[in-house]
Amino acid sequence: MAASRAASRTGRLTLPVLLVLTAIVTITPFAAMVLVAFAPESGQTFPDALIPDRITFANFEHVLSSSDVPRWTLNSLIFSFVSVVLILLFASMAGYAFAKKRFPGRDALFWALLATLMVPFQATLIPSYILVSRLGGVDTYWGMIVPTLANVQAIFLMRQFIVQLPDELFEAAEMDGASEWRIFTTIVLPLVRPALATLGVFVFLWHWNDFLWPLVIGQSGEMQTLTVGLATLQSENVPINQIMAGATITVVPSLLVFGLLQRYLTDSIAMTGLKG
């Protein structure tokens, strides 16, 4: 009797213990990154790296002063923030048009846009590069940003949200003689704020973490983004402590966004299945 109760208690504890262990294993790489980044020069190999004899900021100071990391951070911020603003604006405009306006070829156009989801970006990498380079966009911000604005998921998400808004709202505003742009900015945008926030977070993460496109467009050291720069750093003879310091700098904005909006982010993936 007592034995079976004990057995059932261990049975009940198995899952939580397993969960805690899995969680620890999942976080370990991050913990290792931070520990190595704060370890002194000697701490490059396993036991010393994880149990450093002292903590130092030298790796961060070094990486921030001797490499292009500050410049790369600026590039990443520009690439991400400008893209977020423009995608939110253009996608909500297009979403409004596709949801609430009838125009010739509307549905065919919408399906044509959705069909581009089937084409992986890599398949069009070369023509996109040639196009941008012919237009003089290599090593420029616009060359890096503009081609990424054609985002199907963004239009789709905004359309889905705006379709649910009641038509009476727009009819009433139209009766009052409000211009379309006014209706859009004072009725549509405020009502879809949750969708805009969700989309904004995703677009930020997609762009902040993007690699292949910034790699081919930002070729000079000056124009690389943080992810590209990090790949460059680690292919050179930079000590691992400094690479991990660079990696830590790279991950901070993503973690900030995640920390602030965790609940929100995970819920919206479960609901909409957004994936970059």
Partner 1 sequence: MSSAAPVASPPGGTAGTGPAAAGGTSPPGGRRRARRRRQARVGLLFAAPMLLLFAVFRFGPVLGAVLLSLTDYRLSGEWTFIGFENYTRLGGDDLFWDSLRVTLLYVVIFVPLTVLMSLATAAMLHQVVWRRGLFRGIFFLPYVTSIVLAAVIWKWIYDAEDGLVNGLLGLASLGPVDFLGRGELVLPSIALTSAWKGFGYSMLILLAGLQAIPRSYTEAAMIDGAGPWQRFRHVTLPLLRPVLFFVMVIETITAFQVFDAMYVMTGGGPVRSSFSLVYMLYDSGFKFFDFGYASAIGLVIFVFVLGVSLVQRRFLGRED
In 3D, which of 227, 274, 264 has the Cα closest to residue 80? 227
How many whole angstroms separate alpha carbon 106 and alpha carbon 101? Answer: 9
In 3D, which of 73, 77, 109 has the Cα closest to residue 222? 73
Closest distance to partner 1 from the beta carbon of 55 (Å): 18
Closest distance to partner 1 from the beta carbon of 190 (Å): 17
Closest distance to partner 1 from the beta carbon of 176 (Å): 15
The gap from C-alpha 53 to its chain's centroid, in whole angstroms, comes to 36
Closest distance to partner 1 from the beta carbon of 149 (Å): 5
Closest distance to partner 1 from the beta carbon of 233 (Å): 8
Q: Please, is 262 exposed, middle or buried when counting C-beta atoms within 10 Å of its C-beta (0-12, 13-18, 19+)? A: exposed
How many whole angstroms separate alpha carbon 171 and alpha carbon 69? Answer: 52
Closest distance to partner 1 from the beta carbon of 263 (Å): 7
Nearer to partner 1, 5 or 134 (CB): 134
How many whole angstroms separate alpha carbon 84 and alpha carbon 78? Answer: 10
Nearer to partner 1, 70 or 136 (CB): 136
Nearer to partner 1, 74 or 112 (CB): 112
Helix (H, G, I), strand (E, B), or coil: what is residue 44?
Answer: coil
Nearer to partner 1, 6 or 123 (CB): 123
Nearer to partner 1, 127 or 166 (CB): 127
Q: What angle do CA 121, 153, 109 make, to 5 degrees?
A: 90
Nearer to partner 1, 56 or 128 (CB): 128
Q: Which amino acid belongs to residue 99?
A: A
Residue 245 near residue 62 (C-beta atoms within 8 A): yes
Contacts (Cβ under 8 Å, ≥6 apart) of 260: none
